[in-house]
Amino acid sequence: MDARIYSTNRRGFLKGLALGAGGYALGSLLIHPKEGMCQSFVKTYQEIMANTRPTADFYGAEMLTIFWETKPEIVAKLLPPPLKPANRPVAMAFVANYPRTNFDLVYKESALFLRAVYNGEEGSYCLAMPVTNDIAMASGRERAGFPKKMADIHFKRDGHSVEGWTERRGIRFMEVRAKLTGKLNDTAAQEIIMAIRKVRADGSINAISYNFKHSPAPEGGAFDYNPRLVKQEIVYRSKEMLLGEAEIILRRSDYDPWVEVEVVKMLGALYTVGDNSMLRAKTVAEVGPMEFAPYAFLKWDMK
């Protein structure tokens, strides 16, 4: 089989390879021009470029996000440097169903975040992001450093009631429920949530996530490279947005310690249906290996 790379020049190919491998087409169906419907482990420049997308788009994404206040000392303990705590010790968890995407995957996802600040810009530090699809897991981890693990995830809306849960290793460590009553658990919560979910002039919401991208060295011990702080921007274009009264149950798990993010005050829930776009992530800082080492195990199961 002819497995050569078709490219006009080396620089052009390398640029295309970087865009394709770092883009959102991981797992997409790619066709080799000389093999028709037969697939190859080696991709051509044309195939890579044809499957490169500027954004990862989610159509009809259904999400239930729960907001609560935890203890400031918990946030301070869990945030790696150079992230700093935000003014309020707010935690968030969501359960989501993605019925259609522009990268050929359909899956469910949940996540746990703490509000954090880097260089004066507030965002959400991702502590955990279970998913139900292996390629969604690999893409998020390898490209932007999201701490993804495979899990069983349930999500259901029945009228004004929404529920979801996440389970790994036989433990349902997170359950969420919300009644879409149009009001929140706490009277001051709407101002807090709207400050986090800032609505722009066109009605969309721009959110920032912070992750750390790192890889263990094959020789063992430290890292392949200095851990990198990655900034990920997501644009939410909601077609339906409802407020609700929320409840979250966190159970002890040796491998998924969400219960560590204690609920001090429940703020409420936000239920949305709409089209979301993940923009290209950016590396914004590097961290020393010894500084970061205690925080390097979000993607692994370790007691």
Domain membership of residue 236 (yes or no) is yes
146 and 185 inside one domain: yes
Domain membership of residue 266 (yes or no) is yes
Quote the tokens at residue 51. 């499957």
258 and 128 inside one domain: yes
Give all strands (DSSP E) within 147-264, no chain letters.
148-150, 152-158, 161-168, 171-179, 205-213, 228-250
With CA atoms as reference, report the closest residue to 95 among 147, 165, 149.
Answer: 165
Quote the tokens at residue 174. 């997170």
45 and 61 inside one domain: no
Q: Are 65 and 94 in contact (CB under 8 A)?
A: yes
Look at phi and psi of residue 25 and say left if phi exceeds 0, alpha if psi is from -120 to 50, else beta: alpha
User: Which range among 10-14, 133-137, 188-192 shows the weakest confidence by mean pLDDT?
Assistant: 10-14
pLDDT value at position 199? 82
- Pairing mode, if any, of strands 152-158 and 161-168? antiparallel
**Beta bridge partners of residue 121, listed in sequence order:** 118
31 and 160 inside one domain: no
- Pairing mode, if any, of strands 205-213 and 121-131? parallel
Domain holding 23, by residue range, is: 10-50
Cβ atoms < 10 Å from Cβ of 262? 14
Residue 50: band (very low, low, confident or very high) from pLDDT cuts 50, 70, 90: confident
pLDDT value at position 3? 38
The CA–CA distances, whole Å, from 199 to 117, 238, 247, 302 equal: 19, 10, 25, 39
Chain centre to alpha carbon of residue 219: 29
Residue 201: band (very low, low, confident or very high) from pLDDT cuts 50, 70, 90: confident
**Beta bridge partners of residue 237, listed in sequence order:** 275
Please give the average per-residue pLDDT across 210-232, as a whole number: 93
Quote the tokens at residue 112. 């746990």
Cβ atoms < 10 Å from Cβ of 189? 24
Please give the average per-residue pLDDT across 227-244, as a whole number: 97
C-alpha 87/C-alpha 85 separation (Å) is 7
With CA atoms as reference, report the closest residue to 297 among 92, 95, 131, 149.
Answer: 149
CATH number of the domain within which 107 lies: 2.40.400.10
Q: Are 258 and 174 in contact (CB under 8 A)?
A: yes
28 and 136 inside one domain: no
Domain membership of residue 5 (yes or no) is no
75 and 20 inside one domain: no
C-alpha 177/C-alpha 161 separation (Å) is 7
Residue 130: band (very low, low, confident or very high) from pLDDT cuts 50, 70, 90: very high
C-alpha 110/C-alpha 128 separation (Å) is 8
C-alpha 151/C-alpha 110 separation (Å) is 9
Per-residue 3-state assignment (H helix, E strand, C coil) for 77-88: HHCCCCCEECCC
C-alpha 42/C-alpha 27 separation (Å) is 13
pLDDT above 70 (res 216): yes
Cβ atoms < 10 Å from Cβ of 174? 27
180 and 290 inside one domain: yes
- Count of the separate structural domains present in the chain: 2
pLDDT value at position 204? 93
137 and 209 inside one domain: yes
Angle at CA 298, nearest 5°, toward 92 and 189? 10
Please give the average per-residue pLDDT across 107-135, as a whole number: 98
Domain membership of residue 250 (yes or no) is yes
Q: What sign has the CA pseudo-torsion 214, 215, 216, 219? A: negative
93 and 170 inside one domain: yes
Domain membership of residue 302 (yes or no) is no
Q: Among the residues of the chain, which ranges form H helices?
A: 10-21, 45-50, 72-78, 134-144, 189-196, 289-292
pLDDT above 60 (res 226): yes
31 and 113 inside one domain: no
15 and 73 inside one domain: no
93 and 239 inside one domain: yes
